[in-house]
Structures are given as structure tokens and as C-alpha cells.
Amino acid sequence: MSEENAARGCVVLAVLHEGRGNAQTKATNWVEEKERLLSFARAAEETTGEKIEEVLLMNTSQEILEGLSSNFFVYSASQNRLFAGDAARCLPGTVRALVLKLLEKEEIFISESAPCWRLREAEEWTAAFLTSTSRLVCPVRKILVWRERTPNKVQRKTPRPGPQRLADAAKENKKTYQASAEARTEADGEKEEQEKEEEQEEQDEECDKGRTEGGQVVATLEFDLQKERFSLKIAEMVREAADAASTVVAIADESSREGS
């Protein structure tokens, strides 16, 4: 990625996903699953107007495992710590390895664990970036969190037992006053539960307003790339290392041709 593009940063979309069954391999069915996840990015672009650079896989524990085609890093300035992701649960790339190698000489704590979204405030995330062979290092300007649309609740096939049915049952079985009182208490409890469900359904309908067919963005986190330049620094370090490696290869090729 060029220095100019790196300075602008990118926007990424975190979606709920437990990750690939075996992150070290690329299964054929992953192609179809990847397309499904990319559809969320297209939907998010329509609703937010942002260009989504990458989709991140975030599990139910809110750990961000990796991107569809990248590794994901988070930096905390207050802890001077870089969360580099768990190599056992992602597909570790060569650029990720290069970043870790370059940082061996830096006084930075490296945690090879997946950054956890719910801990973003406690850990004071101040920077994030992606790595891949095509991008090298891509600083992240904004993280969007996507909530997938859930299917509508299935209607009950049997009617809900109400107060009248419970009262009839009590009469037919000639229950005692205490049993009838217990039945009324149970009926009141079910009535209260039904009211809560109806209230929740109203809230769900309200949330659906402005939501696309696939879901909606429910949270965001922005980074100030000019104030905290850590990701830009990493991008520059990797770019220089890549340029140096290319130069060495070019010199070796030239020497080989001259020798022949």
C-alpha cells in the first residue's frame, strides 16, 4: 500500500463468525461462506456510505480472529501492547511474520492473542491495522460492527395456555383453593411473560427501521491516525523492508545474469 493510501486509512467491518474450521487450510466451501460475508460488506457500504476494505471475523466471545484475506492487529498506547492475533486460530501470513520480526527490536509488548471487542475501552485501543501480501500494512481508520438480521419468530402451533384455561382445569379437577391460587399465580406469570415478549417484539420492529435485508451496523470505533501514528509507523517499516528485499533480489538476479 502506498504511503498516501496508508495515511488515509481504511474502514473494516466486523461480523459474527466463529472462524474457519481449520484456519491453516483453505476449504472449498469457504469460498461460498466468504461470498455471504462479503454481502454484508456491500450492505454496510449502502447504509453508511463508507468503502469497506475488509471483513473481520468476530466470534461470540467478541474476539476478532482475522480478516477474510488479512491478519488483524490492535495497539494499546497506554499498555504499549500489540495484540497480534492467535496464530492457531487464523491463517498467519508472511507480512504478519515480518511485522513481528521487525518489532523484536522495539520495546513493545507483543500479545499473540485475538483482540477482544468488548475489552476495547478497558484496553484503550488506540490503533489497528491489517496485513496481507497485497496490502502489506493497511492502517485502520474505523471499525464497524455488523449485526446480522435474525429470522422472524415462528408462530406457536399450539395456543398459549391462558388464565381461563387454567381456571377451567382447576374447576374440572376440583382443586383446592390453594391449588387454584397457584394456578392463578402461574397464569399471571405467563401473562407477564407474554407482555414482555410483545414489548420485545415492538422493540425489534423499531430496530428494523433503517436496517437492510441482511442486518445493520450496531457499533463503531474510530482511530485518529495523525494523533496516534503507530500503524503508520508500522506501515513505513514494512514498506522499507519490502523495498530492501526487492533490491537484494534484483541485485542477485543481475549478478546471476552477469555470471552466466
Cα angle: 74, vertex 79, 82; to 5 degrees:
30
Span 102-130, pLDDT tens digits: 999 899 999 999 999 999 999 999 999 99
- Does the domain at 3-150+212-258 match CATH 3.20.10.10? Answer given as yes
Give the residue extent of every domain in the chain: 3-150+212-258
Q: Which residues contact 99 (CB under 8 A, 6 or more apart)?
A: 73, 84, 131, 137, 234, 237, 238
Span 71-104, pLDDT tens digits: 999 999 999 999 999 999 999 999 999 999 999 9
Tens of pLDDT, residue by residue, the chain (260 residues)? 788 888 899 999 999 999 987 655 556 688 889 999 999 999 999 999 999 999 999 999 999 999 999 999 999 999 999 999 999 999 999 999 999 999 998 999 999 999 999 999 999 999 999 999 999 999 999 999 999 887 654 444 444 555 565 566 556 655 555 655 565 566 677 777 777 777 766 655 555 444 455 799 999 999 999 999 999 999 999 999 999 987 655 555 555 555 55
Instruction: Give the DSSP letter of residue 260.
Output: -
